[in-house]
Amino acid sequence: MPGLDPLRANRLLSKLSAEPYARIAAAVEMVDLADHVVLSRGGRAMIHAYFPLTAVVSLLAIDASGRAIETASVGREGIVGLPEALAGAATSDDEIVVQVAGRLARIPLAVIRREIRLGGELSDIVDRYAVALLAQVSRAVVCLRHHPVEARAARWLLACHDRVGRVDFVLTQDFLAIMLGQTRPQVSQAAGVLRRAGLITYRRGHITVLDRAGLELAACACYAAIRAQFDALLSPGEAVGG
């Protein structure tokens, strides 16, 4: 984490100058959330925004039969609760769930909306983040349709590695299947390919990245494209989510 201030681990908050940062920091509650924790369900408006510090949060689209697939994920490069922050209300029936356990900064959305209405730094930062997030969603559609599951698994694991700040994290096969839009056997097979290549270990949902460079070579081009988009809009030269 940059310096001694854990809030600065979030890329958006780290871009704020002293005055707006102090106003937001005064309203922060630090929370440590386990995986599977649901932050929002069924389009119900959230009352807090979350700025992940070491956690990863997924936005899931749910069909009429209850099946879920990830449309986007948010780590320390972003904010959870973007529709509520910008529009004041939920705009979809997505479910928002913690996929990788960790710490988040929880802030009342009223505070975030007040800062955005001021039209200052946070407004600009959130606007740029919204553009990057939309690019991530668009790229995910292409990735799901055209790229093999092993390459998509490598991309998602790299994004987790960027966000959590450590080489090991817990991610169950059920959750990875949702992330990749595949069945558990397909996910198990993909993880096996990466494991046999010496890129990761994967045991009972516990993943350790052994060969970061090799994982980048195994990933589809979407990882680099999404990362470059976030870097250009938010934080040139820094690693952000993919």
Residue 213 confidence (pLDDT): 95
- Tell me the C-alpha distance between 107 and 51, whole Å: 8
Residue 199 confidence (pLDDT): 96
- Tell me the C-alpha distance between 3 and 230, whole Å: 22
Average pLDDT value for residue range 199-221: 92
- pLDDT tens sequence across 115-134: 999 888 999 999 999 999 99
pLDDT tops 50 at residue 222: yes
Residue 237 confidence (pLDDT): 42
Q: What pTM value is reported for the model?
A: 0.88
pLDDT tops 50 at residue 223: yes
pLDDT tops 50 at residue 169: yes
Residue 20 confidence (pLDDT): 93
SS (H, E, C) 51-105: EECCCEEEEEEECCCCCEEEEEEECCCCCECHHHHHHCCCCCCCEEEEEECEEEE
> Any idea what the Cα angle at residue 183 is, between residues 37 and 55, rounded to 5°?
30
The total of other beta-carbon atoms located within 10 Å of residue 206's CB is: 12
Average pLDDT value for residue range 171-196: 86
Average pLDDT value for residue range 144-160: 89
Cα torsion 21, 30, 165, 12: sign? negative
pLDDT tops 90 at residue 64: no
Residue 63 confidence (pLDDT): 80
Domains and CATH numbers, the chain: 6-119 (2.60.120.10), 144-230 (1.10.10.10)
